[in-house]
Chain A
Amino acid sequence: MLDIEIDGKRIQVPPGSTIMDAARALGATIPHFCYHKKLSIAANCRMCLVQVEKAPKPLPACATPVTSGMKVFTHSELVTAAQKGVMEFLLINHPLDCPVCDQGGECRLQDIAVGYGGTASRFRETKRVVSPKEAGPLISMREMSRCIHCTRCVRFGQEIAGVMELGMAKRSAHSEIQTFVGRSVDSELSGNMIDLCPVGALTSRPFRHSARGWELSRRESVSPHDSLGTNLTVQVKNDRVLRVLPRENEEINECWISDKDRFSYEALNSAERLEKPMVRVDGALREVEWNVALDYVAHALKDIARNHGVESIAALASPHSTAEELYLLQKLMRAVGSGNVDFRPRRADFSSDGQRAGIPWLGMRISELKTLEAALVIGSFLRKDHPLFAQRLRRLAQAGGKVSLISVAGDDSLIDLFAQIPVAPRDLAATVAGVVKAAAILRGVAVPAGLEGVEPRERAVAIAESLMKDGKKAIFLGNVAEQVDQAGQLHALGAELARLTGASLGFIGEAANSVGGYVAGALPTGLDARQMFAQPRMAYLLMGVEPEFDCGNPREAVTALGQAELVVMMTPFRHGAAMDYADVLLPLAAFTETSGTYVSTEGRVQRVNGACRPRGEARPGWKVLRVLGNVLALPGFEYESSEEVRDEFIPAGASFIENLDNGIALPLAPVAAVSAEGLERIADVPIHFADALVRRAPSLQRTRDAAEPVARIHPQTLDRLSIAGETRVRVKQGQGEAILPVRADASVPPGCVRVAAAHAATARLAGMFDPIDVERA
C-alpha cells in the first residue's frame, strides 16, 4: 500500500492507483469531464489538474500514479488558476444555449462552470459551429457545437460496446465527433453514450425536448427484459414514464443498461395499450366492466371444467411476468385442479423436468464473471440475447480470460473469443459432447457412456484445455441451448463437462423471471408449454404471452387457440392476432405500474414498486388473479398486498434464493453425428422483438436491429438449392410459410436457414429449430 496525503488528509491506496482513485476513496471532489471510472484514462480535458509537491507543473489527477509519500493539493492557488483556465477554454466555443439544451439542469459542464467559470467571457470572437450529425434513431447529434471533446463516447464504443462506431475526426479546434459518413450507431449498448456525455452533445432522441430533468420524479425499478436483473431508474411526469436511466449497481449492471432496457418505456405509452377489459359477444370483442369480464371468465372456466374436465384447461405465462403473477397463476390453476401450467413458451424439450436437482440458475454471481480464467458459452446469440452479460464477457476477454462460444451462428460477438464453433442446431449436442470427451481424455478418465462414438473437433480440444486450467471456470447455457430439442441433453452434457473440468455450470436465462418462474412453481404437473398446444385444450389462460411471437412453435399454438372454446388473455396490449382468437382480454398493468418481484439469473430477489398508475383501467396482474380466485371461490386468495403473495413462496427478507442447483439426473444419450438430409431452421429472437414491450417501442423499431427478417443461408447451401440468384424465397414449415428476402451469409452453418422468430413476417412458421424448406418465391 502507498501513503498519500491529499489536502492534509491521509489515506493508503494500492499500488497502481491514481491520484483520482485516492481522492475518490477519501471522498474528495476533483472536477473532471473526460475521466470515467469504467473507461480508459484519456487525460484530455485537463479539468482535474492538481498540485503535487515537488512537481513543477500541475498534474492530471486521473492519470498520475500515486507514489509513496506523495502530497497533493487540490485547492491551492496553482490548482485554482489551472482549473479556471481550463474552464475558460472549455467555455469559449461552447454555445450559451443552456435554456434550450436537453442537458440543462443535469449538465456536468454547467455544474462545474458554476464553481470554476467566470461571470463574463473574455472570448469575444464568434464561436465554432459544428454541423449536426446523424447517428440513428436513439442518439441525437444535432447540437455537436456543444461537444467538449472528452472522447468518453469514443472510448465507450471501443472498450465497453466492443465496436468503435464514433470517432473524433479531423484535428485541432476542427475536431468533430462523428460516425463513419453519417451511419447510425448500432450497438445494443449505444444509449450509455448519452449518459456518458458530460454535456448536451449526445442526447436521447426519444426523450428530446419532452421534459426537464427536475420535473421528473425518479423511481427505482428493475428491467423486465433479460435475466440480469438490471437496475433502472424510471422517470415519471404526470403518470407517464418519460425516461429510463441506469441505476448503478456494481454487482449487476454496473453503470450500464442496454438500449432495450432504456428505450422500451416508449411502449408504455403505446396506442396499443389495452385500457379496458373486453369480452367477445356475438363474435366481436366489446369493452366491459371488470366485474363483468371476471364473472364471464369464472363461469366459462367452470362450464369447461364441468363439460370437458379440468385437464382441458391450460395456462401459459410469460417469463417476463412478476414472480407474484407467476405464483398466483399456477396457484389458481392447481386450485381449479389442472396441472397444465408453464412459463417457458419458447421451450421445445422438457426432458429435464423432474430430473433437476434444484432451480436452474447462473451457477455463480454475476459479479464473479470477472474472476473467471475461462468461460464456455453454449447456444447463445450472446450480444443480442444478453447485452450486458456479453459486455462482462468482453471485458473478461480483454483482461485475458479465455472465452469460447459454441453456437448455431458465427455472429460477431464483439468479444475477443478464444474459440468459436458455429454448428447446425442438430450438431450442437454432438459438438459439446466432443468437448466433454476431450476433457475426459485430458483428465485421463473414462469417456462417459454414450460418448464413445463422438469425434472431438480440433477447437473442441482447445476449449476443453482452456477449461482444465487452474482457477475459476464456467460453462453457460444460453437461450438457444434451452430452446432446441436437445435442451435436456445439453444440460446433462454441460453438467458432465463441469464435473470433469471443475468449472461451474449455469443457465444465462432468457427473461427477467426465468429463475423466478421456477421459484414460483409455475411448472407443469400436467401438460407443459409445448404439449398444451400439441394436444389442444378447450380453455387457455395466457398471461403476458403473445403466442405468435413468444411460442417456440407459433403455428401449433395459434392453431390450438383457434379451436379452443375459451381464450383469456391477460395482457397490457391488444394486438391484431389476439383479436381473432381471444374471447376475453384483461388489461394488465405494465412493469412500471405494478409492484412485484424479479428473481434474476443469479438468484437475486429484487422487488419493485409501481412507478406510476396503471394505464386506463389496467390492473396489476396479482390483483386480477386474486379477484379471479375470489370470484371462483377458491381458497387462499385473500391477499391484501403483493408482499403477502410473495411471502408465500419467497422467505421475507431473502435477498437470494436458496435451492439453486444445476445438477441433473438425466443420463447422457448416445450422441452421434446426424446425417444432414433436409434443411434445418435457425431462429434467433431479434433483440427488439423479444418481448411485448420492445415490439411496441417505436424508436427501437427504427434501429438496424429491428430490420425485417431475412432468410440467411450459407452460400454453398444456396448453390446446392439452385436459388443463388434469387432475391426473395418462400420458406415453409409444414403448412406454414413466409416469403422473405434471401441473403447469402457464410456465418450460417451449411444446411441451415436462419429465419428469425418473434416477428410478424415469420409468425406463421413452426418450430424455431425444426426442419424447413426453401423454394423460389
Chain B
Amino acid sequence: MAILGAIEPILTAGWDGDAAWRLRDYVKRGGYKALERIFEKRIPADEIIGEIKKSGLRGRGGAGFPTGLKWSFMPKDAKGDRYIVCNTDEGEPGTFKDRDILRCNPHAVIEGMVIAAYAVGAARGYNYIHGEIWALYERFEEALDEARAAGFVGRNILGSGFDFELFAHHGYGAYICGEESALLESIEGRKGQPRFKPPFPASVGLYGKPTTINNTETFATVPFVLNMGADAYLAAGKPNNGGTKLFSVSGHVNRPGNYEIPLGTPFPVLLELAGGVRGGRKLKACIPGGSSAPVLPAEVIMDCAMDYDSIGKAGSMLGSGAVIVMDETTCVVKALERLSYFYHEESCGQCTPCREGTHWLYRIVHRIEHGKGRPEDIDLLRGLTTNIMGRTVCALGDAAAMPVQGFLRHFRDEFEYHIENGKCLVPPEVQRAGSTFFKATV
C-alpha cells in the first residue's frame, strides 16, 4: 500500500488494490471526466486557467509557484510548437510522493497533462521520470498505451479536433534534472545543466519553444480541481494554500510513508498519522520540505501548520512536502555531512560558486564530523553559504547552503562540541541504539 493515511483524501481517494493504476479503475473512480466535460462543453482555455488560478493550486514540486499563473505565462498568439512537460524527476532526499502517484494513479497525471496542453495550446508533451524508478517508467508507458487506445491521448482527442502526443522520457541518475531548465536540457539530449533565466521556459523552453513544466502531483491534481470546482478545492486547504497535499514522511517515525492532508494541518497531526516518533523517542528535529529546506528543531516544528506560509514563517520551506523526522539519537553533524556530500556530488559543475562552494562546504563538515574541525570553521561555513546563496545559475547553490545555515542556526552547540572535543554530543551507544537496521520488522 502506497498511501498510509489521509484526511479527507482527494488525490489519493480509491488508491486501493493492485489495479488502481489501470485505466478501467481510474475511469471507474471518475477519471477523464474533467477532460470529457471540457470537450463536451467546449470550455475555453482561458476559463480553465482561471479556474486553476482560483483554486489556489500551487506547484507541488517544491517552489510552490501558483499553477494557473504559470500557465497564463504561455504566449497567447505566438505561432509554432509549444510543449507540456511533467517533472517526475523526484530526487530531493525525503521526497517519494510522485513515485506513488505514478504507481497508483498515472492516468491522473496523463489527464492533467492533456488538460494543461489544451489550456496552453501544446501539441506534444513529455513526462521526465526519475531513472531509478524504472518499473514506474514502464508502467507510465503502459498507461499511456491505454490512454492512447481509449482516445484520451493522440490525434483528435475525444473527437474534439485537439491533438496531443505524450511520451515518457527517463532520467538516469542526476538530481539536478529536477530543476526545470536542467530537465529540458536533459530531454534535449545533453547534460542536465540549468539554463540562465530569463528567459523562462514559458517563452524559451524545450527545443527553444514555449513550454509549461509542472510537477507530477500538480498535474495529477488538476482533474480533481476541475471536478470538484475551484472553490471547493480551495476550501479544502486554506487561503493562498489551496487543497490537500501529499506529504512524504521519512526517518524516525513508526510508519514512514505518504499522507494526504489538507494544507494547514498541524504538524503534530501529521506526525501522529505517521505513527509518531519511532520507539516513542523524543523528537529532536525535522526537515519539513525536503533536504534543501532548513531544519527546524522539535519545539519550532511542533507549533507549525503544514502549509507554505506557516512553514515559511518558521524559517523553513514546505518545499516538496518531504518531512524528514529525526529523533534524539541523531547526530546533526553527521546528518548535515551526508546532505553536504549529496549536494557536492550532485552539483552540475557549471557555475563557480556551486561547483566550488558545495565541494568546500562538504570538506569542512566532513572534517568536523571526523574530529578535525577548527574553531573558525563555523564562521567559515556561514561565510561560504553567504557567498553561494543568490550567486549561482540555479537554486542548487541555495539548496546546498540552506541546510548548513539551518543546522548551524539551531544546533550550533553540537557543532561546537564536535570541534572542541573531536566527538559527538550524542554518545555513540545512543546513536547505535537508534539504528533499526538489525531490529526492524516490516
A contact residues vs B (CB 8 Å cutoff)? 41-47, 49, 56-58, 60, 63, 65, 81-82, 85-86, 88-90, 92-93, 122-123, 125, 128, 148-149, 168, 170-175
Contact = CB atoms under 8 A, between A and B. Distances in A.
Contacts of B348: 171-172
Contact of A171 (B347, B357, B392): B347
Contacts of B380: 122
Nearest to A87: B352
Contact of B391 (A57, A92, A128, A172): A57
A36 to B, nearest CB: 15
B363 interface: yes
B358 interface: yes
Given A56-B390, A57-B391, A93-B356, A173 B347 contact: yes
Given A171-B347, A172-B344, A172-B348, A92 B353 contact: no
B360 A92 contact: yes
Given A43-B351, A63-B196, A173-B344, A58 B356 contact: no
B412 interface: no
Contacts of A170: 349
Given A149-B350, A171-B176, 5 more contacts: A81-B387, A125-B360, A172-B347, A172-B348, A173-B356
B355 interface: yes
B174 interface: yes
A174 B349 contact: yes
A222 B412 CA distance: 65
Nearest to A150: B352
B361 to A, nearest CB: 11
B360 A46 contact: no
Contact of A175 (B344, B355, B392): B355
B393 interface: yes
B345 interface: yes
Contact of A89 (B174, B198, B357): B357
Contact of A172 (B345, B363, B388, B393): B345
A44 B356 contact: no
B413 to A, nearest CB: 23
Given A123-B360, A172-B358, A173-B359, A149 B391 contact: no
A86 B391 contact: yes
B353 A89 contact: yes
A173 B353 CA distance: 11
Nearest to B387: A85
B352 A46 contact: yes
Given A57-B391, A85-B391, A175 B356 contact: no
The list of the 3 closest CB pairs from A to B, nearest first, reads A85-B387, A175-B349, A89-B356
Given A85-B387, A89-B356, A60 B196 contact: yes
B392 A46 contact: yes
Given A122-B380, A123-B360, A173-B356, A57 B390 contact: yes
B349 A58 contact: no
A171 B191 contact: yes
Given A46-B391, A65-B198, A171-B191, A90 B349 contact: no
Interface in B85-115: none
A743 B390 CA distance: 57
Contacts of B191: 168, 171
A118 to B, nearest CB: 12
Interface in B151-184: 174, 176
A88 B198 contact: no
Contacts of B345: 172
Contact of A149 (B174, B355, B357): B355
Contacts of B196: 41, 43, 60, 63
A58 B353 contact: no
Which residue of B353, B358, B388 has the most chain A CB atoms within 10 A of its CB atom? B353
Given A86-B391, A172-B345, A172-B346, A125 B353 contact: no
Given A43-B196, A58-B390, A90 B359 contact: no
A122 B174 CA distance: 30
Contacts of A56: 390
A145 B356 CA distance: 13
Interface string B374-411: 00000010000011101111000000000000000000
B344 A89 contact: no
Chain B interface, DSSP helix/strand/loop, else mixed? helix
Contacts of A65: 198
B391 A82 contact: yes
Contacts of B391: 46, 49, 57-58, 82, 85-86
Given A49-B391, A89-B387, A173-B358, A148 B349 contact: no
B349 A172 contact: yes
A92 to B, nearest CB: 6
Contacts of A171: 174, 176, 191, 346-349
Nearest to A57: B390
Contacts, number: 95
Nearest to B363: A125
Contact of B353 (A46, A63, A168, A172): A46
B372 to A, nearest CB: 10
Contact of A85 (B176, B344, B346, B353): B353
10 contacts: A41-B196, A45-B351, A49-B391, A93-B356, A122-B380, A149-B352, A171-B174, A172-B355, A173-B356, A175-B355
A228 B234 CA distance: 69
A64 to B, nearest CB: 8
Contacts of A86: 352-353, 387, 391
A91 to B, nearest CB: 9
Interface string B321-349: 00000000000000000000000111111
Contacts of B357: 89
Which residue of A47, A93, A125 has the most chain B CB atoms within 10 A of its CB atom? A125
Given A46-B392, A123-B360, A173-B358, A89 B352 contact: yes
A124 B82 CA distance: 50
Given A58-B391, A171-B191, A173-B355, A89 B360 contact: yes
Contacts of A175: 349, 355
A240 B363 CA distance: 49
A85 B382 CA distance: 13
B352 A90 contact: yes
Contacts of A148: 352
Nearest to B389: A57
A589 B137 CA distance: 71
Given A89-B357, A171-B174, A44 B350 contact: yes
Contacts of B363: 125
B383 to A, nearest CB: 8
Nearest to A170: B349
A172 B387 contact: no
B356 A90 contact: yes
A63 B394 CA distance: 14
A170 B191 CA distance: 9
Given A41-B196, A93-B356, A173 B349 contact: yes
A49 B390 CA distance: 10
A81 B358 CA distance: 18
A47 B176 CA distance: 22
A145 to B, nearest CB: 13
B351 A46 contact: yes
A58 to B, nearest CB: 6
B365 to A, nearest CB: 12
B106 to A, nearest CB: 30
Nearest to B364: A125
Contacts of B350: 42, 44, 149
A149 B198 CA distance: 22
A58 B356 CA distance: 18
B351 A44 contact: yes
Contacts of B347: 171-173
Nearest to A90: B352
Contacts of B386: 81, 85
Contacts of B367: 125
Interface in B248-292: none
A60 B391 CA distance: 9
